[in-house]
Amino acid sequence: MFEFEITSNCNNTEARTGIFFTPNGKVNTPKFMPVGTLATIKGISSKQLNSTGSEMVLSNTFHLHLQPGEKLIREAGGIHKFMNWSKPILTDSGGYQVFSLAKLNNISNEGVEFKNPRDGSHVFLSPEKVMNIQMDLGSDIAMAFDYCPPHTATENDMEDSLQKTHAWLQKCVETHQKSDQALFGIVQGGKYPRLRENSAKFISSFDLPGIAVGGVSVGESIDQIHNVINYVPNFLPRNKPRYLMGIGSLSEISLAVAKGFDLFDCVLPTRLGRHGTAFLNDERLNLRNARFKNDFSPIDKTCKCETCTSYSRAYLHHLIRNDEILGLTLISLHNIAHLIRFTNAISNAIKDNCFTIDFAPWKTSSIAHHTW
């Protein structure tokens, strides 16, 4: 259980393909994971989501604790039955959400006290409580409780936050007692190489089933994001799945895969989809734009998702301009399928030993015909 098998490597980069085994099925890596914060990918049914080729989805401990509560989900038979998703599920610890509500919380060595944004009541989350919540939820992967300060934090403040993240991981490891659930630690440290190295080595020392890198794409510059992607893998074990949190652009996924990352998540496919924006290769099409009114082609003629095989840009434009819910669903569905296809294409290119950092399978090339 939770074995990670590396199945192929790329000679030109650190990229690899692998299989991560969980109690609810395997995840073929590299792979993009859709975000379903409240045990739902907004506007998309489980059957539709399955049609995109998604193999693991995310839900959020913080939000599920507030509504409907982990006890109710446990009574329902666990999060898989509750949301009708039989494949693997990862639950984020909620650490980022707590700290993004900075005006509402009080952080101590024991945990975080914050005001419930729903009703104003006071709630306290400790590492121990976060572990118990996730064990009740019954996800395949539980994330350790971490401290993710803003990217503008000074090195001293970031080091203080790192001490809490590391101390909390120790408490998470001591509390977590669910053999059919993997615990992943989270590397923090912001834009500071010394702190990132320190954190990567500390998290790795616990020999957990997998390791995540957090505090990325939280407002910092593209160069700073790339620095973290390039630097941190030097201090991570190669035999563990590496999860880069919050990344969903094609260029950053390509770079991260080239540096040996395996798993990715991002809210952008559905967030942009709900605003009428569709992914096409490395472009974003705003289907609200009048130029699509008489465009009867699909979003992407090479895409086999329900949206592209059944509906035109003109129809989607009509739905979006009239605030029809179906439009938001169809565009979000395509955006998820697009990122799944992209990571699948990367896998094929790695297996064929022709993957590069600037991987662009939609361009005319010798590898395009069998990877995208």
Give SS3 for 334.
Answer: helix
Residues in the chain, how many? 372
Find the helix packing angle between 193-204 and 155-175, rounded to 10°: 10
Catalytic residue list contains 119: no
Burial status of residue 121 (CB atoms within 10 A of its CB: 0-12, 13-18, 19 or more): exposed
Element (H, E) at 214: none
Residue with tokens 């984020």: 92
For residue 212, list its beta bridge partners.
186, 243
Catalytic-residue membership of 92: yes
Please check whether residue 252 is in contact with residue 221, taking contact to mean a CB–CB distance below 8 angstroms.
no
Neighbours of 235 (CB within 10 A): 17
CA 269/CA 219 separation, integer angstroms: 18
What is the distance of C-alpha 86 from the center of its chain? 18
Q: 136, 146, 262, 265: which is the annotated catalytic residue? A: 265
* Type of residue found at 121: S
Could you write out the DSSP letters of every residue in 231-277?
Answer: HGGGGS-TTS-EEETT---HHHHHHHHHTT--EEEESHHHHHHTTTE
As a whole number of angstroms, the distance between CA 108 and CA 151 comes to 20
Catalytic pick among 92, 146, 262, 300: 92
Query: What gap in Å lies between CA 192 and CA 228, rounded to an integer?
Result: 9
Question: CA-to-CA distance for 230 and 232, rounded, in angstroms?
Answer: 6
CA–CA separation, 319 and 333 (whole Å): 15
d(CA 172, CA 184): 10
Cite the DSSP H helix spans in 126-249.
127-137, 155-175, 193-204, 222-231
Handedness of CA 85, 274, 245, 155 (dihedral sign): negative
Which of the residues are catalytic? 92, 265
